[in-house]
Structure formats: structure tokens, C-alpha cells
Chains A and B, each alone.
Chain A
């Protein structure tokens, strides 16, 4: 489904430059739940941003269903992010001025003009409410982010990412700001969505235990994917579906 081939990414600041991704290749199959683990600075988040077209690689290609997406013009990239990808971030990034429902509906607001929204508003609102119910926030529809807990905010962020029925959900350390139990709930939710709705998920995490709940674990170090044989942690990366929580 999504394939990155020989991508490199270097961040430059004045004379200094840091190569974050180094000739990296990676692919995700349709319906797969992949987790990317690695130490801080290993390039996990950068890879996720490149896969989600938030940034462009210096070299290499990224393609979706065989079609290159790394060199798309701005408008098409915006549409791709709106319709095909869903993002979940570590710090939830809900808009503080909006209610939980408005936050969830944001992709629809972005997609439509005022007239288009008016015509489709019932469908979208129903979808938003369904998703909020699905993530257990049926009673928090009108609440602002500041009135919600970290776990609730992250669940609202997941609902927002799913509103437009994306084919690929990119989650950047979705549990990084949550306690273990709540983090487990979020990963459990993602696992259910992957299993029940067939959403393809790529999740970046630090937590090896949570990563174990995914179909496949990819380890990164020094801007590259580390083959399983080079893994020095000795941890088993086979998926374990018996997640707590």
C-alpha cells in the first residue's frame, strides 16, 4: 500500500547538518498495524512525517498504491492528508477554542466550503457523534479540551483522525503523554479500529510493551531500519494480542 524507498532526510541549521534518515526503505501493507520503535533521535517521527506528506525527503521516493506522493504539488498533498491519511500526535493537538465534536469534525470543515458543509452537515455530524461514542466520549461532545483528561483528549484526537475514513492512520507516540493504563487503552482502541474497520495503522512509540500489540514491529536506529537479527534488546517483536486494558 505505502512504500518508502531509499529515502534520506537531513536537517540543516547554518553550517551544522544532521542526517536523520539515511537511505531508508519501508513499506506497509493494506490493513496492517505496524509499530516503529527506537530511541529518541532515531528518526521515527521524521519517517512518519515523510510518510504522511507533512515533509519531503531529500532523496528517495514515497508511493501510495504505486503512485508517488512525495513530489505532489501543494494542493494535492493537502487533499491527500485530508482524505487518505489520519494523524494522531503525542500532545493530542486539539484546538482549544472548539468543543470535542467540532475538533472531531475539523477534517470535514477543512474539506468543505460553507455551502458544502451546510449541505452535508447532518451526515458529518452523525459520523462525528458516532466516532465520539465509539471512543467512549459520547458524554463529552460539547466539552472543550481543557475540560477533558489526557486520555479523553487523545481519544478525541483518534476520532478526529478517523472522521474522513482515512486509509492510513499515522500515530506519533499516541501514548507518550499518558500513563501506562490510559496508554494501553489507546493502543487497544487502535487495535480494535484496525481489526474491525480495516484501518491501516503506523504507530511510532517508545513503549515496547505497547508495540507488542501490533502486527509488526519495526526498529529504527541511526536513521535506518534495524534488521531483527541486529536487535540488541533481545525483546520479542512478535505480535501479542493479549493486551492488558
Chain B
């Protein structure tokens, strides 16, 4: 009973105890905040990586694509044991290429920009079903059936651009069509005089050529926008370099791999996953147009799949579904991989980074532990006489040790409770806090142009919080062992005589 009584009384009355509590609290809250932010980044990154990728895909390295048609491939999958786990498939052609477009420079002159890109030929409705494609479209956001059709706004700009580029070309061919000339109604009269000059025949008025039907393209957001930080206001600004309705040209290699092919597309939408690598690389075009352009017929080089929710657990996919599919499409012509396999390096890097940061930050709690050791040593020295009197009243050495171990535990526990509260509060209000600190210091602590995140992402992982707390309490107890041992081994007579 006296152990508990003295632990709590020491906690209430000692200023040094307060110092220990604050050091544990700060270490604990720092760990929780950093963990939550790191976890937030990792979760958001994983969500996005998963969002832009299907659960799994069957790919081929062959430039001409699979020898089998996508319908046949799908039928084989559906007939296999893996078929009942598949919710949706999206035949896709993925190929590297270049994007060329015109823009005005600062002096108003036309300049040509060329960027390297990854071209994805997709059926938008099918592709939206296998991943978060529609979720990341800026103008057709979350539409169940997105399309490459021009919106009213894009069509108007497209017409305006055409009128500027081809002033003689009718904007609307139906209204410009002349009546067909009737050559038989008005026969040519041959003059009787053979020496007379030949009659002038008026050229026939032909049908106006219909303008080419615009084919839509979805551009990665960063391809179409230039993002910069205003040096005067420090605000992140964007310039829309390519607008919906503008035409762009993409160039890639044909199916034989030895001749470049190109085609003009009209921008209908942007793809904004907030992953700069994807937003600055990916363009989506209609699957049939890309196949036609490359001369692939109906062939594809990637079949993307979404599994049913209960089947899309990483371990199940890796251990059951992937081997099953790999049997149907054997290597080396085909490769079956999950989205985690494709992003394995990045995902592993995130985990390693998080683990390393945790380890380094735990040293903060270690430093707090040394603080506890120093302060406890002082407290034990101060309490020599109390230890002597307790022993003279019958307290055992083990009992005296328990007082200081319990004291260490209590300091750790109170520090952890306060630290968890502070850490969770900072995590919750980290964005207002960041804005405040940015205003105060004039330096952006979280530059939006680096991460393309609107806010600092956070994710409070209950297990991580629990582990941090257990670790901090353990450190507090471990560092109080030495002073507690010293107190326990104190000879009662020497303790009573201590001046």
C-alpha cells in the first residue's frame, strides 16, 4: 500500500517529476505526430497508387501486343477458377510516346513544346470499373461512365481554334453545302463553228469536305498546367497551358516498331491523381483509336483486372490469384502482377523510411529516458532519509525498489497520456497550425507544389500509438531501474545518518 501512496504523492509534489513528465510527453507527442503524418503520406500514396492501377494486370513485353484477342483472354479467365474472383476487366494498350502542342510564349509568339509521355489506350467506361480512373478526372470526376466526348466548353474552344487555323474552312459543313450541280439538266451546247474557241466550262461545285471528327484525349494535369511559386506572394500559382478544346499531337511507334505514327487529339479532360510522376506522364486516349493508329487491329498489350472486395487482399492475390492467372498466361510472353508488385520499390521505400524515422525519433524518448535517469538519481539522493525511515519501519528492499519503479511507471504513464493527447491534437489541427507557422515565419513549411497535396495528410494508426506509448513507458521504467536499485540497496543506518 505504501508503494502506491508514495508514488502518487511524489508525483504530485515533486517539481522534478513534472520535468520528467514534460520530457516524456514531448517525445511521445512528437512520435505520434510524425508517425501519423508519415502514415498519412503512406496511406494517401498507397491509395493513389492503387487508385491509378487495377488490382492486377496481365502484361506482355511484345510490342505488337498479345497474339490473342482481349475477348478470348477474358473468356479464358472467366472460365478458370480465378474467374469467379474477377469483378471487371479493362483491355488496355500502354506505350511510350511523345506529346507535341503549341502554346504562346510571354511575347505572344507560338512555340512548340514536346514532352515524353505514357500513352494509355482505354475504353473509359470499362477502365473506370477496374480502378479510380474516373475519380481522378477533373471534369468528369466520379462519373460512372466517363467518355472522350468533347464537353460543350471544349467543343466551343475547338471550333474557335479551327476557325482561326482554317479561316476558309466552314465551321459547320452542313450549312455550307451547296446544291449539287445537275449536269444533265443543263447540257453543254457545242458551238457549230469549229474554229471558235472552246467553250468555258464552269468548274463543278463539289461537296465541302467534312472536317475530321475530333478525337478526345485526357491529359495528365501537370502536362497541361505549369505550376510555380510567386516570388512576391510566395503563393503557389498555376497557368493552364493546354485548355480543353486545344489540339495536341501524340507520336509513338507503330506495331512493327520501326516507323513512327502520329495523330492529333483534342483535349477533353485532365487526369489529376496528385502523384506528380503520373500527372506529368500519363495521357489517356480511346483504345480503338490507339489500336488503329499503331496498326494493332484489336490486339492489346495489357489486360487490367479488378477483383471482388473479399478477394483483393494482398496476400490472397499474391498467393492464389496471381499463380492461377500465370498458369493461363505463362511467361515469358505474359507477366501477371498485382499493383503492389508494380509499385514494390516505392512501397518498400515508404515502409523503410517510416521504420527508420521511427527508430531515429524513438531516440528522443531515449533522451527523455536519460533525463528520467538523472532526475531519479537526484530524487533518490534527496530521499535517502525517507528510505532509511521506511526501512526502519519494516519496508523491504524490494518494496523500496518498487516505489521508484512504480514512480518511473507513473511518470511514463502520465507523460504518455498527456503526450498522446497533445500528439493527437497537433495531428488533428496540423494544417491550421502549418498555415499559422507559415504566416509567422514567412516560409512555406509544406510546399503544395512539391507534393501536390492540398493539405498535410494524416492517419492516426491506433497500433502505432499504442506501441509508442508502451515503448515510452518501458523506457521510463527501464531508466528508473538503476536509481531504484540504488535506493533498494541503501543501508538503513547510512540512510538515516545521511546529511
**Contacts from A to B (Cβ < 8 Å):** 49, 52, 54-55, 74-75, 78-83, 87, 89, 91, 93, 95, 97-98, 102, 106-107, 109-114, 116-117, 160
Please give, as numbers and ranges, the residues of chain A lying within 8 Å of B496 by CB-CB distance.
54, 89, 93
Given A95-B389, A111-B394, 13 new contacts (CB under 8 A): A54-B496, A55-B493, A74-B396, A79-B394, A82-B394, A93-B389, A95-B390, A102-B5, A110-B2, A113-B1, A114-B4, A116-B1, A117-B1
Q: Is chain B's interface secondary structure helix, strand, loop, or mixed overall?
A: helix
Question: Distance in Å from the Cβ of A146 to the closest Cβ of chain B?
Answer: 11
Most B Cβ at <10 Å: residue of A80, A81, A110: A110
B388 contacts chain A at the CB level, 8 A cutoff: yes
Q: Mark B2-21, 1 if CB is under 8 A from A, else 0.
A: 10111001101100000000
The answer to whether B461 has its CB under 8 Å from any CB of chain A is no
CB pair B392 A106 closer than 8 Å:
no
How many Å from the CB of A50 to the closest CB on chain B? 9
- The reply to whether B1 and A112 form a contact with Cβ atoms under 8 Å apart is yes
A-B contacts, 10 of them at CB < 8 A, read A49-B493, A79-B394, A83-B394, A89-B389, A89-B392, A91-B385, A107-B393, A107-B394, A109-B2, A112-B1
User: Is A110 in contact with B399, judged by CB distance below 8 angstroms?
Assistant: yes
Contacts of A98 in B (CB 8 A): 5, 9
* In the complex, chain B residues whose CB is within 8 Å of the CB of A89: 389, 392, 496
A110 in contact with B390 (CB, 8 Å) = yes
The answer to whether A54 and B492 have CB atoms under 8 Å apart is: yes
Which of B6, B385, B396, B493 is the one whose CB lies under 8 Å from A54? B493
Q: Give the contacting residue for A87; candidates B2, B13, B392; CB below 8 A.
A: B392
- B interface residues (Cβ-Cβ under 8 A, vs A): 1-2, 4-6, 9-10, 12-13, 385-386, 388-397, 399, 491-493, 496
Minimum CB–CB distance from B115 to chain A (whole Å) comes to 73
Question: Would you list the 8 A-B pairs with minimal beta carbon distance, nearest first?
Answer: A82-B394, A109-B2, A97-B9, A117-B1, A93-B389, A81-B394, A109-B1, A87-B392
Give A117 to B388 CA distance when docked, in angstroms: 22
Q: How far is the CB of B393 from chain A (nearest CB, A)?
A: 5
> Within 8 Å CB of A74, what residues of B?
396-397
Chain B residues near A79 (CB-CB < 8 A): 394
Q: How far is the CA of A2 from the CA of B386 in the complex (A)?
A: 27
Expressed in whole angstroms, the Cα–Cα distance for A55 and B395 within the complex equals: 15
> What's the Cα separation between A93 and B399 when bound, in Å?
19
A54-B2 in contact (CB<8A): no
A199 to chain B, nearest CB (A): 16
**Contact A110 B395, beta carbon cutoff 8 Å:** yes
Cα A112 to Cα B394 in complex, Å, equals: 11
A contact face: mostly helix, strand, loop, or mixed: helix
Are B396's CB and A75's CB within 8 A? yes
Closest to B14 in A: A97
List chain B residues, Cβ under 8 A from A54: 391-392, 492-493, 496
Asked whether A52 lies within 8 Å of B392 as measured between CB atoms, the reply is: yes
Question: How far apart sit A107 and B390, CA to CA, in the bound complex (Å)?
Answer: 8
Bound CA span A203–B90, Å:
98
A95 near B386 with CB under 8 A, answer: yes
Instruction: For the complex formed, measure the closest distance between the CB of B344 and the CB atoms of chain A, giving whole angstroms.
Output: 54
Contacts of B4 in A (CB 8 A): 114
Q: How far is the CA of A106 from the CA of B394 in the complex (A)?
A: 10
Question: Across the interface, do A109 and B5 meet the contact criterion of CB distance under 8 Å?
Answer: yes
The minimal Cβ–Cβ distance linking A12 to chain B, given in whole angstroms, is 13
Which of B2, B13, B492 is within 8 Å of A106, CB to CB? B2
Report chain A residues within 8 Å CB of B389.
Answer: 87, 89, 93, 95
B9→A78 contact, CB < 8 A: no
Q: Who on chain A is nearest to B13 by CB?
A: A97
Judging by beta carbons under 8 Å apart, are B2 and A81 in contact?
no
Say yes or no: B393 contacts A81, CB within 8 Å.
yes
Closest to A55 in B: B493
Residue of A nearest to B2 (CB): A109
C-alpha spacing A102/B399, complex, angstroms = 18
Contact A87 B393 (CB under 8 A): yes
List B contacts of A83 (CB < 8 A): 394
Could you tell me the distance between the alpha carbons of A81 and B399 in the complex, rounded to whole angstroms?
15
Residue of A nearest to B382 (CB): A96
Inter-chain CA distance A81–B5, complex, in Å, is: 20
**A104 CB → nearest B CB, Å:** 11
Instruction: For the complex, give the distance between the alpha carbons of A112 and B10 in Å.
Output: 20
What is the bound-complex CA distance between A107 and B393, given in angstroms?
Answer: 6
- Output the least CB separation between B46 and chain A (Å): 48
Q: B497: nearest residue on chain A (CB-CB)?
A: A45
Partner of B394, one of A49, A93, A110, A114: A110
Chain A residues with Cβ below 8 Å from B390 are 95, 106, 110
In whole Å, how far is A9's beta carbon from the nearest beta carbon of chain B? 10
Which of the listed residues A81, A91, A106 has the most CB atoms from chain B within 10 Å of its own CB? A106
In the complex formed, the residue of A with least CB distance to B491 is A55
Closest to B9 in A: A97
B6 lies within 8 A of A97 (CB): yes
A49 to chain B, nearest CB (A): 5
CB distance from B157 to the nearest CB of A (A): 80
Docked-complex contact B9 and A114, CB < 8 angstroms: no
- Tell me which residues across on chain B come within 8 A of A106, comparing CB atoms: 2, 390, 393
Closest residue of chain A to B492, judged by CB? A54
Q: How far is the CA of A95 from the CA of B385 in the complex (A)?
A: 9
The distance from the CB of B497 to the nearest CB of chain A, in whole angstroms, is 8
In the bound complex, do residue A78 and residue B394 qualify as a contact, i.e. CB atoms below 8 Å apart?
Answer: yes
Task: Please measure, in the bound complex, the distance between the C-alpha atom of A74 and the C-alpha atom of B393, giving whole angstroms.
Answer: 13
Say yes or no: A93-B388 contact (C-beta < 8 A), given A75-B396, A110-B399, A111-B394: yes
B492 to chain A, nearest CB (A): 5
CA gap between A78 and B393 in the complex, in Å:
8
Q: How far is the CA of A82 from the CA of B5 in the complex (A)?
A: 18
A141 to B: closest C-beta gap in Å? 16
Note all chain A residues with C-beta closer than 8 A to B386.
93, 95
Interface centre among A83, A87, A117 (most CB of B within 10 A): A87
